[in-house]
Amino acid sequence: MPPKELPKKYIELSGQLEQLADGIEGHSDETNFPPQLNAEEPRQKRQQLENSRQDYHEKVIAADLAYEAYEAFAKECRQYRSRSQSFLHGLYGKYDDILREFGFTPYKKRARK
């Protein structure tokens, strides 16, 4: 799973793209400089990188909120199951095999020594 925050990698790559754009801009008027390179493309890619990072960050926050809601509901379900088990123990006893029909393991009867 990817980390929740990518600040070091993002900052490094963003800086490299900006430095590339500055270098292209500073040397683009040289005679043998390749015409395929322009300063605008790395800046556009840097902006896309920022947008992608922001989108990722928002989705991580949404995923955290969804997980918290899931955990809260799972806790509610566990409590419901525990209450149900207590009711059934009161009705049938802790040792009755009928508890298996409800998904609970009955207690084992101990022999006295």
Helix (H), strand (E) counts: the chain: 2, 0
The verdict on residue 113 lying in a domain is no
pLDDT surpasses 80 at 16:
yes
Residue that the structure tokens 């123990």 belong to: 89
Q: Flag whether 88 is in a domain.
A: yes
pTM comes to 0.64
Query: Which amino acid would we find at residue 55?
Result: D
Name the percent of the chain lying above pLDDT 90.
Answer: 66
Task: Decide if 18 contacts 42 (C-beta within 8 A).
Answer: yes
Name the domain count of the chain. Answer: 1
Q: What is the CA radius of gyration of the chain?
A: 31
Domain for residue 97, yes or no?
Answer: yes
Tokens of 73: 């509901």
Work out the end-to-end distance of the chain between its first and last CA atoms, rounded to an integer number of angstroms: 54
Q: For residue 4, name the pLDDT band (cuts at 50, 70, 90).
A: low
User: Is residue 25 assigned to a domain?
Assistant: yes
**Residue 6: predicted pLDDT:** 66
CA angle, 46 as apex, 11 and 21 as ends, to 5°? 100
Q: Residue 20 domain-assigned?
A: yes
Residue 88: which domain range?
Answer: 7-102
The per-residue pLDDT for range 18-27, each reduced to its tens digit, is 999 999 988 8
Asked, for residue 16, whether it belongs to a domain, the answer is: yes
pLDDT tens track for 63-96: 999 999 999 999 999 999 999 999 999 999 999 9
> Is residue 109 a part of any domain in this protein?
no
Local confidence band at 28 (pLDDT 50, 70, 90 cut-offs): confident
